[in-house]
Structure 1
Amino acid sequence: MPLVRTPLPRARWLRSAVLVAASAGLVAAALPAPAPLGIGDPLFPHLGNPGYDVLAYTLDVAYPGDNTKPLAAVTRIDARATDDLERLNLDFTHGTVSAVTVDGLPAEYVTSGEDLVVTPVVPIDAGEEVEIAVTHTSDPTGPADTGGWVRTGDGLAMANQADAAHRVFPSNDHPADKAYFTFRITAPSELTVVANGLPEGRVDHGATTTWTYRTQHPMATELAQISIGRSTVVHRAGPHGLPVRDVVATADRERMEPWLRRTPGHLEWMEKQVGPYPFETYGVLIADADTGFELETQTLSLFERGIFTEPAYPEWYVDSVMVHELAHQWFGDSVSPRTWSDLWLNEGHASWYEALYAEETAGKSLEARMKAAYAASDGWRAAGGPPAAPEPPSPDHKISLFRPVVYDGSALVLYALRQEIGTEAFRTLERRWVAEHRDGTATTADFTALAGEVAGRDLTAFFRGWLYEAKTPAMPGHPDWRSRPVEATRTAPAARTAPKAG
């Protein structure tokens, strides 16, 4: 049979031709000045970038063994253009770029705001798949509350929510564009490296070792996790043989075991509520760091060491916070928000299952917690907006988006919904929600439409009041519940002194 050569795609062939022409000085570009772009998220207007869909990231990172020094990195992005592109923007800051290629050919680049603006040698056609490779550094220093790398007592971890992944690697840094990830991390051989997904081997080079991990499900950039430190990885089996791996400082291995061994039971409990666990593995990463929060990084939730060692935190509370982060694997990780205004779906559900677990296992009344939330709800809405229309975060403190109204204020919406449609319909809704939107993104409108379908009636007026109005509606079944005056709520002490459950 004769050999049939597959012709190069037109744009690839043109790139080669234009590269030759450009080297001879025959091509001149006339484009407007580079500018930061965004996908139109009202809370983060410059987050994400239009014109392409990321299919996969490959992060090659070299850790020098000192968490005050920049890491050398190459980030490869496989993407499909959704528009004709003369340029494409990536979210990236807090690092130095030394080279960019598009399909292996050198590309021009410039920084504009927190965007890396890339100009390939020839425009990219809509529908074309491209590979962008960025050689850069990744700086782990800076204020802890800005997110990105978290410096621990013995290395590094990551906390990228909501808009900080691009402080670590170039990306389309918005949960609306999920992708598969491969991590190749090189570190001193005496350290242990763990990342999202499952291990795919490691290669020893003597003084250093390269560890490879790969996700089996798409992931939002904000959920990426790399842990580097003097750690032990503890393995055990979860429901249906699920691989459970926990990452803990080697010195703390025995001390943390009473907490670590709870995870299989947490998984079983959550599966009874909403159905099968959605990923390939799960575990907790206990970091020697002071972040002020816990975080649901996909397949490997981040916890501060202090939440497990501080005697002031009751055992039942810590236990329920572990369930909170686990619940996010369904709500927020597998089903991700289409925009950051849909955050209430993440945090409201995680807070709901946290509270339900505390009631079932520790006798902490769900109704009492919801009544207290109702009392504070008008004040929370005044301070941060209603659950599905939150006020933008402070520009210099982006995690200020994570206010009480998106936690218990949004769990309160779910409590009201259960009161309105009944327990069985509510459970059906929850299970269908995570099954039908698994590995995808979804909106508040998607949730309210499904709720109406399950209930068999129009819930538009119900959700309008509970999600968008300044005043909290009357609670179904509890006409006697009252919300405190806004002024009283603003001056009331905080209900929790423990770290925020992410």
Structure 2
Amino acid sequence: MTADPGSSALAAVVATRLRTRLAVLSLVLVAGCSSTSDPADDELVTPSAAPSSATTDTGAEQGAVAATSAPVISPAVEQDLDSALSTPVEDSVYPAVGDPRIDALLYDLDLDWDPEARRLEASAIVTFRAARTAPRFQLDLGPRLTVGRLALDGEAVDFARRGKDLVVKARIRADQRYELTLDYVGTPEPAQAPTTRSDFSTTGFTITDTGEVWTMQEPYGAYTWYPVNDQPSDKALYDVTVHAPMPWTGISNGRLTELTNDGKTTTSSWQLTEPASSYLVTLAIGDYTHSANTSASGLRVDYWTPRGMATGFDGLQTAAESVDWIEEKLGPYPFDSLGLVVTDSMSAMETQTMVTLGNNDYVLSPQVVAHELVHQWYGDQVSPADWSDVWLNEGMTMLMQWLYEDDFDIRPLRGTIQDARAGDQGLRDDYGPPGAYDPQQFGSSNIYYTPGLMWNELRVALGDDEFFRIARSWLEENDNTSVTREKIFEHWETETGRELSDFFDAWITGPTTPAPGVPKG
């Protein structure tokens, strides 16, 4: 997630310089349009393209936005369940969400959305490993959703509802794998977010005035629309199918494996083949158009934007260029697909392989797009095992955003660091240190700016080459896992040969802004 634009004095400076940056970009990205026609029954759906900068018979040049008639459809593959094995934990900040007895491996969801009735009819198949032997287990599922049929390995079992807790009264044995199937129906309702941020107050399934849907669910809220072990230590694979009235399209994570219609309903299927924490899953349903461009490294970037969206394309479509910039520092993009979907939100979220962005100038700015893309490495490829370590995501990403702003003449790094350091003590006083924050102040600026400053101290002390070598090695060693602060501290101490315990403790849990500098030995 990006930093709250209303919580720091830096935001005003960034907004001023952003206008200059976008004026330059608009000279490069010239808008155009393309038309669409009504496809016949059972034809491939071909959403009309979003405004684009270049169209050729043979495809788009690198960095230019192609006016594609339809997105690429990839064949579905058999999911590798072993790749999703996790070690679930009870969260220290929000212990009421998640169940450490469950290690979810695959969520297979079929979602039918009726916008007029505001009604979701759905079925779920949850394949999981029992992390321990237990007489019962539970998943999180929104209380507004009524469960019908429920079975474990094909046999009907008793269950109970206690608020959002779906308690399954069946014995499970450690390390055995099970398949839970259920049908459910209702009008999902977002959960209250534990935050005072200005850009969001609820999380999960959100319905607009016109019946369109978007989701952002950090630190929890996935449970508002599907049965889930809603805690970040439990990563899982996803197969998601969405049915929506034409011409609407359902957007989710991963590769698009189906996009068809029967003359009334659009069906889209998505497959996420590398495991993700539940807060990194997205669902958006609405009248979307599609366009794409390609990074210099050959990564196709898909853009799903609301039909008629008039502004914001310039910043949004810098994503391919940003991927190239990030890869130079953090290594190759870690997944097999990348898309961005624009919704009616006010914020932005690093949802894995399909970044979710609100429809406003700040969120669609180049530096915020870059911020969410950096999260594909720091936050998605490697995620926190516990919400006390959300700073693991945001600190490195904030530093990368500052470097991006400096490299692209949006905001000089020196001034950014000065302002962030000047405001650090106030953040600690108001919200707590980043590794011991007030649980009712989730996502405040202390988890962004404070660890960003810490990582910059290390970068200056080590030099860019050594700093980013270690940053890359961390990702390589912990690919597709959820980790703790102790593990990353140990990694940096081993790689640098320095005793950094006091340095890390002062920055992450200390009540006072540390003095500049890094221990040499």
- Normalised by the size of structure 1, how large is the TM-score? 0.80
Residue 304 of structure 1 is aligned with which of 355, 358, 370? 358
CA distance in structure 1 between the partners assigned to 2:234 and 2:397 by the alignment: 22
Q: Are the equivalent residues in 2 in contact too, given 1:138–1:167 (CA < 8 A)?
A: no
* Structure 2 alignment gaps of length 5 or more: 1-87, 193-199
Q: Are the equivalent residues in 2 in contact too, given 1:73–1:138 (CA < 8 A)?
A: no
The residue correspondences of 1:39-438 to structure 2 (distance < 5 A) are: 39-66=89-116, 69-93=118-142, 94-120=144-170, 123-141=171-189, 145-152=201-208, 155-252=212-309, 255-287=311-343, 289=344, 291-307=345-361, 318-362=365-409, 364-393=411-440, 400-438=441-479
SS at match of 1:187: strand
CA distance in structure 1 between the partners assigned to 2:404 and 2:162 by the alignment: 47
CA shift for structure 1 position 228? 1.2
SS at match of 1:251: coil
CA distance in structure 2 between the partners assigned to 1:458 and 1:225 by the alignment: 40
Q: Are the equivalent residues in 2 in contact too, given 1:286–1:302 (CA < 8 A)?
A: yes
SS at match of 1:386: coil
Q: Are the equivalent residues in 2 in contact too, given 1:370–1:408 (CA < 8 A)?
A: no
Q: Deviations over 1:174-206 (max 9, x none)?
A: 110000000011111321222100011234333
Q: Deviations over 1:126-165 (max 9, x none)?
A: 2211001121125244577221112346511211111111
Q: Are the equivalent residues in 2 in contact too, given 1:39–1:46 (CA < 8 A)?
A: no
CA shift for structure 1 position 375? 1.4
Call closer, same or farther: CA 1:380–1:260 in 2, change over 3 Å.
Answer: closer
CA shift for structure 1 position 424? 2.9
* Backbone CA RMSD of aligned residues: 2.0
Give the partner amino acid of 2:151.
Answer: T
Say which structure, 1 or 2, has more relative contact order (CA 8 Å, 6+ apart).
Answer: 2
Q: Are the equivalent residues in 1 in contact too, given 2:312–2:361 (CA < 8 A)?
A: no
CA distance in structure 1 between the partners assigned to 2:100 and 2:209 by the alignment: 39
Residue 456 of structure 1 is aligned with which of 473, 483, 497? 497
- Greater Cα radius of gyration, structure 1 or 2: 1
SS at match of 1:49: coil
CA shift for structure 1 position 257? 3.7
Give the partner amino acid of 2:360.
Answer: G
CA distance in structure 1 between the partners assigned to 2:475 and 2:157 by the alignment: 41
CA distance in structure 1 between the partners assigned to 2:488 and 2:232 by the alignment: 17
Q: Are the equivalent residues in 2 in contact too, given 1:91–1:115 (CA < 8 A)?
A: yes
Q: Are the equivalent residues in 1 in contact too, given 2:132–2:174 (CA < 8 A)?
A: yes
CA distance in structure 2 between the partners assigned to 1:369 and 1:304 by the alignment: 24
Aligned length: 421
- Normalised by the size of structure 2, how large is the TM-score? 0.77
CA shift for structure 1 position 169? 0.8
CA distance in structure 1 between the partners assigned to 2:248 and 2:405 by the alignment: 37
SS at match of 1:217: strand
* Structure 1 alignment gaps of length 5 or more: 1-37, 394-399, 478-502
Q: Once the two structures are aligned, what percentage of the paired residues are identical?
A: 29
CA shift for structure 1 position 208? 1.5
Call closer, same or farther: CA 1:82–1:363 in 2, change over 3 Å.
Answer: closer
Q: Are the equivalent residues in 1 in contact too, given 2:352–2:380 (CA < 8 A)?
A: yes
CA distance in structure 2 between the partners assigned to 1:138 and 1:306 by the alignment: 30
Give the partner amino acid of 1:118.
Answer: V
CA distance in structure 2 between the partners assigned to 1:49 and 1:141 by the alignment: 21
Give the partner amino acid of 1:136.
Answer: Y
Q: Are the equivalent residues in 1 in contact too, given 2:297–2:324 (CA < 8 A)?
A: no
Deviates more, 1:269-278 or 1:461-470: 461-470
CA distance in structure 1 between the partners assigned to 2:232 and 2:410 by the alignment: 36
